[in-house]
Chain A
Amino acid sequence: MKKALDEGKLILIAIPVLLWTLLPIYHLFVLSISSQEAMLAGTLWPAKPTLQNFQIVFQQQHYYLTNFWRQMFNSFFIAITTGLLTLFIATFAAFAISRLKVRGGRTIMNLALATYLIPAAFLAIPMYKAMGSYGLLNTQAALILAMVALASPYAIWVLKQASDKLPKELDEAAIMDGATSLQLFRLVYLPLMKPSMVVIGIYALLLAWNEYLYAFLLLSNEKAVPLAVGLGLFLSADDAPWNLLMAAGLLYAIPPAVIYYGFRKNMVGGLTAGAVKS
């Protein structure tokens, strides 16, 4: 009886939370299958649902969507490159700090944590200025480097914590067998860190995928911007075709959803890997 009551309470909380979470997605979907007239009618479900909006998006038939596929590719390119670079930097840094115990490692960890505490938006203008000084403005490299800079502190922190949990005896055994540092890294460390690396790679990838402010500031050319910025053009007009924006937005939301659900087991395992020190 008590169990049933507890479950009932949980359900009472869960249902509003679920509805609240799904409501924007519902609106996104409903508008994306509505015609222009039905979109503005304020009904819960369009009288004549249509896939016309998706057709227009796929075929880039609206003026604001002329670079849709190019911008989608840019989003993939920037997100994947950011994910890989962050992973590269963070894995090596965590290995050096956690396993090789390099001097100053603790200071680097503290600095990494400190930079993570500064909101990314505060760094936007300094970053813009820095990229301008290096002549990198209006290049995708600028955005990728900025994203890597933003993602790395957290990535190093999580990987270092996860790395600390690995038994030291494994390293000692490998060293006894004559392994060099790089062999230790490649043959012992990397295979054991795989779940955490997956989660950090996805974290950096999604950070870059969802980024708007830096992408908007650092890139100017319509053909170079990611789709998030490209879709911002819809807000130019006070008569924006919201149904097309929602259809394009729905398509843009699919890849991160697929990635998340594809790797959700690793996500949970990886995120909790550094949570508790053994």
Chain B
Amino acid sequence: MRILACFMPATSGRARVAGFDVLEHSLEVRRRIGYLPENIPLYGDMTVVDYLGFVAEVKGVGRAERRRRVGEVLERCLIEEVRGKLLAQLSKGYRQRVGLAQALIGDPEVLILDEPTIGLDPRQIVEIRSLIKSLAGQRTIILSTHILPEVSMVCEGVVIINHGRIVAQGTPEKLTGELSPVARTQVRVAGPAEAVAAALGRVPGVLRVEQATEADGVGVFVVESPRDQDVRAEVARLVAEQGWGLLELRPMGMSLEDIFIRVVAGEEPAAGAPGEAG
């Protein structure tokens, strides 16, 4: 992140942002990015408006436009009510939003956000995420995070990097698809377990049926089928025809956590092992 923002040099390899090398055309790159570092460093003795005014000036926003632009980001990042406060007095959530505001000033083509939701309370996280989502579409947003559900929520493309190497890349759906060729569906049925299992196995398209648990005449089964074939309708019809009770029918998507662990560890994760997001 710091390399992309031209703050640190790369120990090896090259980085380009919007077609400009970060080392050779650092100034051109810096004209096109808005950067939100992980820990947002702010001048504690400045007020929010003064600070944003300064950033606008440094980013080359003309005098005439400055007021409007600052007003715009204040509104956009929901920090109007703290505009006159000193930066040192702001809570973590507000600091984060001021950080986002300073990154947004000057309408950069590329936004680089390093862990934008870390250290926030759940309500603030939701606010920041929706703010980030609202920014998408007009510009490229590069977001680094260790919170994987966040990725599935806000990102369109994912790159997993381990020890400086790209280990997986693509849309979240593509990653899930590539890594596990079969789709798994969890079915909970009230009925004789063995008969149900046998019946499920006969549904066209089903590759394998696995009985997970059984209690009080209710069985939980996991049905595997090719990813491009949806067997849920067939399963539901079958269960209904047999007069059993269909209690639950749920596709078991492979979460990004699973993918992450798998590609980083380079092997299948042990079932039920807690994932360590390094």
A, B: real partners:
no
A residues bordering B, Cβ < 8 Å? none
B residues bordering A, Cβ < 8 Å? none
